[in-house]
Amino acid sequence: MDDRQFLVLLALNAYRDKEGVIFTTHKLLQKCGYKEGSIRTKLRELEALNLIENKTVDGYSLQFKCFKPQNCPDFIFSETLTLDDKLFILRLLRENISDFSSHKGLDKQLNSNNIHFTLTRIEKKLNMSMADYLKTIKCIKLSLKDSEEYEFF
C-alpha cells in the first residue's frame, strides 16, 4: 500500500467505531486533502487490497468494515498542511525518522533531493521544528454525529 492509500485508510479509521465499522461521508474525507473523485478511487484501491469492505446501503452515509484498524494521527485532518505536507510527515512516521540534523542523510534515507526545502516549508507552517512536531502528534477519533458538516435527513 502506498502513502496516498495509507493516508485515506487512516482518515477512514478516525471514524471507526468499536466494532471496526466506519461511518463517514466524502465531504468529511475531503478534509484530509483529497478531492471527491480521488477519494472514491482510493477507496476502491483499498477494497482491492482487502483492507476495507464496502458495506454502504443506498441512501445512507458511507459505511465500511476495516480489516486492519489503525490509529489516525491528528495532522491528517489539519487545514494548515497541504496533502503533500501530510504525505511527507506520514512518510517520516512510517520510516521512523526522528533525526533531522543532516538533510543530506535524510535525502539518501528518503531517496529524495529536496528534503531541506520541504522541511523548511512545513516547519514555517507549523512554527516549530519537525522533531518537536512529531512529538506532539496525537491520535484522534471522530464521529459522524458530531460533525457540523453532516446533514441529518
The per-residue pLDDT of the chain, averaged, comes to: 84
Rounded mean pLDDT, 107-112: 77
Give the pLDDT score at 105: 76
Q: Which of 43-47, 74-78, 112-116, 124-128 has the lowest mean pLDDT?
A: 112-116
Rounded mean pLDDT, 92-115: 80
Give the pLDDT score at 150: 42
Give the pLDDT score at 109: 78
Per-residue pLDDT reduced to its tens digit, 1-25 = 899 999 999 998 888 887 777 777 7
CA distances in angstroms from 74 to 5, 30, 116, listed in the order given: 17, 15, 24
What is the DSSP code (8-state) at residue 52?
Answer: E
Do 50 and 67 contact (CB within 8 A), yes or no?
Answer: yes
Residues linked to residue 52 through DSSP beta bridges, in sequence order: 66
Task: Give the C-alpha separation, 41 to 47, whole Å.
Answer: 10
Give the pLDDT score at 152: 37
What is the DSSP code (8-state) at residue 146?
Answer: T
Whether residue 151 is predicted with pLDDT greater than 50 in this model: the reply is no
By CB atoms closer than 10 A (0-12, 13-18, 19+), residue 19 is exposed
